[in-house]
Structure 1
Amino acid sequence: MSDRPYPSALQARLIAALWRLLSHARPITLWRLARRLGPLIYRFSARERKVTDINLREVYPQFDDTRRARLARDSLRHSTATMLELGFAWMADPARVEASIQAVHGRELLDEARAEGRGVIVLAPHFGNWEVLNFWLSAHFPFTAMYEPPKIAELDPLIRQGRERMGAALVPTNSRGVAALLKALRRSEAVGILPDQEPDWRGGVFADFFHRPAYTGTLLPKLVARTQARVVTGVARRRQAGEGQPQGFEIHFLAADERVYDADEAIAARGVNASVEAAIALDPAQYQWEYKRYRKTPEEQQQRSDYRRHRLYR
């Protein structure tokens, strides 16, 4: 048998080498590179362009075609920047990453909750650079987050090391992971949840996201009910050099919509989505619109339910 690496192994080596190389660059250099690559991705990556355009038509129907196209191009530039910045967030000297975070807004929300002996659930949507947010949280608080290994398995050790290097605890996306989150919250620690990642059919409900039903996870109300934790939304917004500071990031913590504390899972899910909407409003171009947020539909759920009922009564 040949000892040549499988394509995924070779791909992992190339990606890891690129991240290590880019980890030495400054954020302004990475942004300039993203601005050059973003238009190419918009032009040649049909899938990303199509999904982004569809999502923006659903979310911003009041925008004309020119404005939506400009927002789509800007969004793909920011998504490109996020990918280029992964090496910086995971491998650059921690002092450099910390220095790139030029402001932290709303930290008192976390400090006050912990002073009251309550844990904090941080809703971290796919906005800006969520790996910089993970860096800051794990550097400043005891922090636990769920982690699903990447599709390219050979990258798992590198990604895990990058996310854990400042002290974060990564737990699996299963019942053991949920138990670990509960324990962390009862110790008045912070935990992270991805609020805009579509769960499987047993783990969510439909709730409006920008006025259209989106299948939304129901883990949050379960955690709140058992721990009385405070819920905040957290993002690392990319700040442009033209905003009076060097290129870098600013962390925003926003109080979550009050509906997240409702015992009704559907109401709580709407509160989660409203909290994500409020974060997106900081800069809509920095949200990852190429994610298929509306992939599952209520009609599909009804069809599945009808099929199970048919099987049951056959």
Structure 2
Amino acid sequence: MVNRVSPKPSRKKSARKSQRLQAQGVNWLWRLLSGRRLKTLWWLAGLSSRVLYAISRRERHVTRRNVEVAYPEDSAERRRERVRESLRHSAATMLELGFAWIGAPEKIEASIVNVHGRELLDDARAENRGVIVLAPHFGNWEVLNFWLSSHFPFTAMYEPPKMIELDPIIRHGRERMGAELVPTNPRGVAALLKALKRAEAVGILPDQEPGWGSGAFADFFGRPAYTATLLPKLVARTQARVVTGVARRVPDGKGFEIHFLAADERVYDTDEAISAAGVNACVESAVALDPAQYQWEYKRWKKTPEEQQKTPGYRERRLYTRR
């Protein structure tokens, strides 16, 4: 009798199983934290950010390089403080995802202690104009999504997460108050245009680096950053009003304040490079509300003009290369 050995599972199957287990763990954590008080989550963010600062060289390094660019006048000690503050706010955002996506809507609404600049949206709609909300990675942008979709017809682009098992949870969390999520492709752009022509609100992430061919270089804190050029296309075809929107975390876990800021007038320019400069100026104005709450862990200056124009054999020293 021949003994048959069961074949070992393929690496692909093992990877999928591992991903499912990770997704289940993340889902469990979100649900566990969804009912916790914001003060508790802020305290936990303080603990986890210390660990992150100690063991995560990537986040620490990228954050430090970014604040060096944005605040070159800082002393070494102030720079370290900025890095620690940023990591704590980023940790808080991650811990608050369950609160924003799964928590009781009345509890989330109650956590929003003030809304500044709402008249910018109301006035635009009164004029039968759509509103494009530039929502940078500042504070808790999921709370901003919650408020916008609770008070206005709201459409935003959405790209499923790499951990696809989390997609139903994230999608439900963002859509549960009425938001419409559309894909990050031409079909999604067409949906944004239709929403704006109906005098509704749409959301755009202004500080995500686009692929080559979909952006223009414009200064961001004095250094050229490759910036998406979708905005002038939407404005040109809809005459929409543009505002910047953020959910700023109130100190010590006491809730959030929503801020809507009038956009830099350059965002309405038909020249894509000028419009991109206006977009970056809008993000800078939002960051000025509380620089620690901006997500400095993102490689905002990864692409460079030199890389775009490089010739064969060209080698560049990148901003984020470790020395």
Common topology (TM > 0.5):
yes
Query: Cα–Cα, structure 1 residues 151 and 270, in superposed 2: closer, same or farther, change >3 Å?
Result: same
Give the one of 48, 63, 66 matched to 1:55.
66
SS in 2 for 1:6: helix
Residue 263 of structure 1 pairs with residue 267 of structure 2: no
1:239 CA drift (Å): 0.0
Alignment-derived partner of residue 107 in structure 2: 96
SS in 2 for 1:250: strand
Query: Cα–Cα, structure 1 residues 304 and 272, in superposed 2: closer, same or farther, change >3 Å?
Result: farther
**Partners of 1:229 and 1:129 in 2: how far apart?**
25
Alignment-derived partner of residue 242 in structure 2: 231
Residue 148 of structure 1 pairs with residue 155 of structure 2: no
**Partners of 1:133 and 1:304 in 2: how far apart?**
43
**Partners of 2:79 and 2:17 in 1: how far apart?**
41
1:240 CA drift (Å): 1.2
**Partners of 2:305 and 2:249 in 1: how far apart?**
35
Share of identical aligned residues, percent? 71
Alignment-derived partner of residue 3 in structure 2: none
1:306 CA drift (Å): 11
Residue 279 of structure 1 pairs with residue 290 of structure 2: no
SS in 1 for 2:137: coil
SS in 2 for 1:42: helix
- What amino acid maps onto 1:206 in structure 2? F
Alignment-derived partner of residue 120 in structure 1: 131
**Partners of 1:110 and 1:291 in 2: how far apart?**
29
1:37 CA drift (Å): 1.1
Moved over 2 A (4+): 1-5, 304-307
Larger Rg belongs to = 2
Give the one of 296, 303, 306 matched to 1:299.
306
**Partners of 2:274 and 2:220 in 1: how far apart?**
12
Alignment-derived partner of residue 168 in structure 1: 179
**Partners of 1:306 and 1:11 in 2: how far apart?**
42
- What amino acid maps onto 2:209 in structure 1? E
TM-score by structure 1 length?
A: 0.94
Give the one of 211, 221, 225 matched to 1:200.
211
Unmatched runs of 5 consecutive residues or more in structure 2: 1-6, 315-323
SS in 2 for 1:145: strand
Query: Cα–Cα, structure 1 residues 220 and 306, in superposed 2: closer, same or farther, change >3 Å?
Result: farther
**Partners of 1:275 and 1:150 in 2: how far apart?**
27
Aligned length: 303
Alignment-derived partner of residue 78 in structure 1: 89
**Partners of 1:8 and 1:266 in 2: how far apart?**
41
1:36 CA drift (Å): 1.2
Give the one of 110, 121, 132 matched to 2:121.
110
- What amino acid maps onto 1:166 in structure 2? M
Cα deviation digits, residues 36-56 of structure 1 (max 9, x gap) = 111111111100000000001
